[in-house]
Structure 1
Amino acid sequence: MEGLRDKVIVFAGAGGIAAATASFLGAGGARIVVGDVVDTSAEATVQAARDAGGDGIATVTDIADENQVKRQIDLAISTYGRIDGLFNVAADIHPDSVARDTDAVGIDLAAWQRSLDVNLTGYLLTLKHALPHLIAGGGGSVVNTLSGAVYAGMPDKVAYSATKAAIGALTRHVARRHGKEGVRCNGVAPGLVMTRQTELNLPEGFRDSILAATPASRHGRPEDIGATVAFLLSDLAAWTTGQILCVDGGTTMRA
């Protein structure tokens, strides 16, 4: 993909979608700095970029911990001298957290708070520490990860859905507030994407029911999301900002 050569992109989060994105960025000649609570996931994401022709470094980062977020941003600056983009993809999707995220009546408030800390406050923290460097360098691109759960009206996962919806407002705030300083900020809202974690944690019957309601003939793949994110991080999307792109096989159709 054009418009990525030598760009330095910070990843907040690793995993299947992150690795697919890293492959596109690496093929375009970008360098990435990946932080995740699981060091092997961060390393695997960096390796995906290297295998495609790019470069990168990995570090252990809990996005809910401001000191760790700042440390990752500082590492990017000390290693590569600048930041050109930020990809927020981290989310609290541990099986225990998912099980405790029920509805507005029954949810464990500790589970609600953890979702806020990771899914929403964590994104604010990365923006807090990355934006000054993006602005100082003349601008750059931010891509935040939402979810199809924002639009589906799900009967469970109240914390996950609410925090992902709030990321949409955060995305538009950054686009509006910092656009004149050269910063673009967009979001992607994936539908059901068949990552390894999805295959392990979601029953086949549930996956089949989602596919039956999807206009497309298959579930999403990590590379479907990765291609969109890479485009938004590239110079090809230079006039695209403040948008939430639903990459979900047509499940969400909005004017």
Structure 2
Amino acid sequence: MRGLADKRIVVAGGATGIGAATAERLAEEGAQVLIGDVNLEGAEATAGRVKAAGGTAVAVAFDLADEGSVRALFERAVAEFGGVDGLFNVGADLSPDTLGRDGDLSEMDAAIWRRTFEVNLIGYAHTCRAAVPLLLEGGGGAIVNTSSGAAYVGEAVRPAYAASKAGINALTRHVASRWGKEGIRCNGVSPGMVLSETGLETMSEGFKAAVLGAIRSPRLGRPADLAGAVAFLLSDDAAWINGQTWSVDGGGSLRD
């Protein structure tokens, strides 16, 4: 891909899964990556793999739900790399205590909604706000946000999660509309069911078979599938793509 060599990219949520795979792919393309995650051990493991392959990576402990932690993440990026050219937002609270308790509206727990929005949506707003001035200083740059098919399909459960992801789509369009003329691109990726450390490995074989039967692909997703799409959207090859959210889901959804 063109235009990723020497780019300085923050991966907000790069300890495992899609975030880790994307950090590694970006480094393979020549980017310098700052890998932030609440799971510092995982972020350090990702950075270690990048450096072992000859790339440049720094791991940083950070929490999407903490505005001060977000500021510190970008301050570290400037200290390490001299600036920021791109941001990939991929973190989310998928814990059993949050996502696992996000039942239907009749069982609504407002604390679950607040926590979900604090991490999944407000956290992304904080990272985008921190990134924008740095991207402008460099003459522009790119942001990619991680959405979800849950924003579209209308599930019987997980309404807080779905609403937070729909909010990310709106945030993506806002950033593209507000700063696009100044050289900032903001797009999103909407993953389908992706096998990862915290993904479908925990699901039954029957559930996996049902998911596979519902998509237009011969296999389930892998973190590398998303990594390729994100790397493209952060690259100069995607210079004329802005304000879009792409479904990367094996054909699970068909949307214009």
Q: How would you bin the TM-score normalised by the shorter chain?
A: over 0.9
Contact kept, 8 Å, 2:33 with 2:56, in 1: the verdict is yes
Residue 9 of structure 1 corresponds to which residue in structure 2? 9
CA distance in 1, matches of 2:246, 2:183: 20
Partner SS for 2:212: helix
Matched length = 255
Aligned-partner Cα distance in 1 for 2:120–2:208: 23
Letter in 1 for 2:75: D
Question: Aligned-pair distance for 1:202?
Answer: 2.6
Unaligned runs of 5+ in 1: none
| 1:215 alignment partner in structure 2 | 216
Per-residue deviation, residues 208-236 of structure 1 (Å, max 9, x unmatched): 21111111111000000000000011111
Q: Aligned with 1:3: secondary structure?
A: coil
Normalising by structure 2, what TM-score?
Answer: 0.96
Question: 1:207 Cα deviation (Å)?
Answer: 2.0
Cross-structure match for 1:55: 56
- CA deviations 1:13-71 (Å, max 9, x no partner) are 12210111112111111111111111112112223432443211111101110000000
Unaligned stretches of 5+ residues in structure 2? none
Alignment partner, residue 182 of structure 1: 183
RMSD: 1.2
* Cα shift at 1:136: 1.2
Q: Structure 1 segments of 4 or more deviating over 4 A? A: none
* Counterpart residue type for residue 7 of structure 1: K
2:242 counterpart of 1:241: yes
Q: Equivalent residues in 2 for 1:1-255 (5 A)? A: 1-14=1-14, 15-255=16-256
CA distance in 2: counterparts of 1:202 and 1:117, whole angstroms: 27
- Give the counterpart letter for 1:10 in structure 2: V
CA contact (8 A) 1:191 1:249 kept: yes
Deviations 1:86-119 (A, max 9, x none): 0000001012212211112212111111000000
Deviations 1:142-171 (CA, angstroms, capped at 9, x unpaired): 000001111221111111111001100000
The percentage of counterpart residues that share the same residue type is 50
Specify the SS of the correspondent of 2:187. Answer: strand
Aligned-pair CA distance for 1:200 = 4.2
Aligned equivalents of 2:121, 2:135: Cα separation in 1? 20
Question: Distance between the aligned counterparts of 1:138 and 1:97, measured in 2?
Answer: 39
State the one-letter code of the partner of 1:227.
G
